Amino acid sequence: MIKVTKAIIEECARNLMFDLSEGQADLILEDFSTVMAQIDFLKNIEGVDEASEMTFPYKEHQKLLREDKPVKPLKAKDALNNSQTKLGDQIKLPKVVGNKHDQVDE
């Protein structure tokens, strides 16, 4: 397997027509190292190659799920009234995706 380097990440970004700013390739490389470590961990689990994939995990429990029926959507005003935190005419949610270099503004 090819060792992923900063140069390879930059080349892939160029091939995909992405412009990386200063330091982004380093962050991607750091994230990629984490993913590869997780894959290595999973490869070492005994019996993992014999396990069958779960393409639809609810298949066994499908009879327990309600039938999906179309309903009239909630009006925006009502949805906003149900929210404790608003930002203009939107519901404000906490940030859940980012990296250690992101700043949290409260």
Distances (CA, A) of 13 to 36, 44, 72, 90: 19, 31, 43, 33
Mean per-residue pLDDT for 83-92? 90
pLDDT tens per residue across span 29-60: 998 888 888 988 988 999 888 887 777 766 66
pLDDT tens per residue across span 62-82: 667 778 889 999 898 898 998
The structure's pTM equals: 0.42
Lowest mean pLDDT among 3-7, 51-55, 98-102: 98-102
CB 44 within 8 A of CB 21: no
Share of the chain above pLDDT 70, in %: 84
Nearest C-alpha neighbor of 9 from the set 29, 38, 31:
29
